[in-house]
Amino acid sequence: MVNDSVSISFFHHFEKKPSFIIQSPGRINLIGEHTDYNNGFVLPAAINLGISLAIAPNQSSTCNIFSTDYSETFSFSLQSMEPSKEQPWANYIMGVVNEFQKAGKKLSGFDCAFGGDIPIGSGLSSSAALECGIGFALDQLYSLDLEQWDLIKMAQKAEHNFAGVQCGIMDQFAVVQGKKDHFIRLDCKSLEFEYFPFKNSQFSIVLCNSMVKHALVDSEYNKRREECESGVKVLQGHWPSIMSLRDASLAQLEKIKPEVDPIVYNRCRYILEENERVLQSGNDLHHHDLPSVGKKLYQSHEGLSKLYEVSCEELDFLVETTRDIPEVLGSRMMGGGFGGCTINLVENSFLDKFESIIRSAYKNQFGLDLEIYRVAIENGVEKVNN
Ligand code: GAF
């Protein structure tokens, strides 16, 4: 991570030293995509790519933010905040400040510089890293004694209210609760979670960044949410106790099939099947059965591509290319979709070869240079010791 350079930028920009530095990671998700806002299961982890924030109070009611990556400044008053169209990155910070104030937390003005090594808009949740990073920083700066779940929920609300994406809880959860060398299986209904150790000397987690981000990502995301909700309404008509897809079974879904739009049926089917895969993958991790997890990654991608329709030709190509490589246990698109990264489980001894095969296949097909990251699982948001 980039703590030192952010600290230096802070000093140059604000001509004083920061009170402290916060390190906030991005996240991966082994399996369980689009299940979070359906009250289902997810299996994410925080990673060694993220954002660092340097912060100090400024004895005013103005907040001054410097983004080292964009080389841009944004200032806002604590008394009036409006989402910015010109500098959308500032919305993640204002959104959190806004939620804190709504919850009655007393804040005063601050100066903050931030930047990182997490690729933006690649499905690694740079937005949750920023939201949780600033939330954690404000908690420390003003000794607010926030509960972790309050931080997670306020960061999620910031995304709803200031970025306009009706996201689930997974990203903010993983950024806050991440634990080195562990995946976390979260039940998004009960909010209970369980850590699964992952330190395999034989296989690595490799992300392939397609370097594309197709338009309409946010509106398609919100639309998927509505489609699932419309499926729930029909199910509820028959079984009033069903409050979300989490409460329904495949048999119940089959029963209402004639009554629902085929697209809605497909969306619901994917969610029910994916929930099952997440539960089983946790058990596989418990038994160190990575080949079995790998198979489920392929099944998950199939569902995301054909039933949930959030993939794209670049992601499908990347996943298909791995199918003939025995040293790859599994591959699938990760995150909201329509671009971003695939997650791959690759045998360590084959990593260099894997990279060169997939890089040249992708270049031949789309004329694009893949970015590839071999990621490690790290702790969630924390203060840097200095
Ligand atoms: C995005 C959202 F922010 C998450 O809540 C989750 O729904 C994910 O897409 C898809 O699984 O990252």
Put residue 339 in one of left, alpha, beta given phi > 0 → left and psi -120 to 50 → alpha. left
Q: What is the pLDDT of residue 219?
A: 82
Secondary structure tally for the chain: helices H, strands E:
11, 13
Separation CA 223–CA 366 (nearest Å): 28
What is the per-residue pLDDT across 9-48, written as a single tens digit (0 to 9) for each? 999 999 999 999 999 999 999 999 999 999 999 999 999 9
What is the per-residue pLDDT across 145-197, written as a single tens digit (0 to 9) for each? 999 999 999 999 999 999 888 899 999 999 999 999 999 999 999 999 999 99
Q: Within its chain, how far is the Cα of 290 from the centroid? A: 22
Pocket residue to mutate for ligand 1, from 125, 170, 217, most atoms within 8 A of Cβ: 170
Put residue 374 in one of left, alpha, beta given phi > 0 → left and psi -120 to 50 → alpha. beta
Q: Whole-prediction pTM value?
A: 0.96
What is the per-residue pLDDT across 185-239, written as a single tens digit (0 to 9) for each? 999 999 999 999 998 779 999 999 999 987 666 788 999 999 999 999 999 999 9
Structural tokens at position 267 = 């969306």
* Ligand 1 center–CA 313 separation, angstroms: 20
The domains located in the chain, with CATH, are: 3-197+378-384 (3.30.230.10), 203-375 (3.30.70.890)
Nearest C-alpha to atom 7 of ligand 1 is from which residue?
34
Return the bridge partners of 186, or none. Answer: 42, 193
Report yes or no: 228 and 271 within 8 Å, Cβ to Cβ.
yes
Return the half-sphere exposure (C-beta side, CA atoms, 13 A cut-off) of residue 77: 2
Q: What is the pLDDT of residue 201?
A: 78
Separation CA 59–CA 46 (nearest Å): 34
* Ligand 1 center–CA 342 separation, angstroms: 14
Options 36, 111, 139, 171, the catalytic residue: 171
Separation CA 376–CA 49 (nearest Å): 9
Separation CA 149–CA 161 (nearest Å): 18
Q: What is the pLDDT of residue 199?
A: 80
Separation CA 8–CA 254 (nearest Å): 59
Q: What is the mean pLDDT of the chain?
A: 96
Q: Provide CB contacts within 8 A for 104, sequence distance 6+.
A: none
The interface predicted TM-score of the complex, written ipTM, equals 0.99
171 is catalytic: yes
- Environment class of 108 (CB within 10 Å of its CB; exposed 0-12, middle 13-18, buried 19+): middle
Task: From the CA of 34, give the closest atom in ligand 1.
Answer: 11
Comparing C-alpha atoms, which of 9, 294, 334 is closest to residue 171? 334
- Environment class of 236 (CB within 10 Å of its CB; exposed 0-12, middle 13-18, buried 19+): middle
Percent pLDDT > 70 in the chain is 98
Report yes or no: 155 and 131 within 8 Å, Cβ to Cβ.
yes
* Ligand 1 center–CA 335 separation, angstroms: 5
Separation CA 295–CA 272 (nearest Å): 17
Q: Which residue in this structure is represented by tokens 């979300």?
A: 244
* Ligand 1 center–CA 95 separation, angstroms: 18
Q: What is the pLDDT of residue 197?
A: 95
In the structure, which protein residues have their CB atom closer than 6 angstroms to any atom of ligand 1? 33-34, 36-37, 125, 167-168, 170-171, 335-336
List the single range of 34-48, 96-110, 209-223, 282-296 with lowest mean pLDDT: 209-223
